[in-house]
Amino acid sequence: DVRPEMEEDRLGRLRIDRAGRRAMVDDAELKLTPKEWELLAYLVRRPGRVFTREILLEQVWGYNYLGDRKTVDVHIRWLREKLGRFGKLGFEIVTVRGAGYRLDPIRDPAGNGERTAGAAQAS
């Protein structure tokens, strides 16, 4: 039984439109590069999990990526800057010292950290 991939993921105020390759905060579209979008979409589908640079390079940039490993750090910084303009989103991208990065939902009384239907768990 093959289930089609969900076309939309939500986390807090963020909505990832997979079919349209867009990221929205409330009604505002984020201006992301293709790699920023892929990195954010990858993390949103896997909140709470720690990913090393190597795993992110393999999964987002591809197996044959031969560039600088620090590109992950740069893209994470750019995502944080772009997302930070919107204030509290219901999640944060945290650095796990010596390990990598993790997207943490922030649960508050308003429920802004809750995942909603359509946010399939993928590995």
Model's pTM, two decimal places?
0.80
Q: What is the pLDDT of residues 5-52, one digit of tens each?
A: 568 999 999 999 999 999 999 989 999 999 999 999 999 999 999 999
Domain covering 8-105, topology: Arc Repressor Mutant, subunit A (1.10.10)
Where exactly are the structural domains of the chain? 8-105
Q: Which long-range contacts (CB under 8 A, 24 or more apart) does 98-102 make?
A: 99/50, 99/52, 100/50, 100/51, 100/52, 100/53, 100/55, 100/56, 101/43, 101/50, 101/51, 101/56, 101/72, 101/76, 102/47, 102/48, 102/49, 102/50, 102/51
Q: What is the pLDDT of residues 55-83, one digit of tens each?
A: 999 999 987 877 888 899 999 999 999 99
Q: What is the pLDDT of residues 84-101, one digit of tens each?
A: 998 889 899 999 999 999
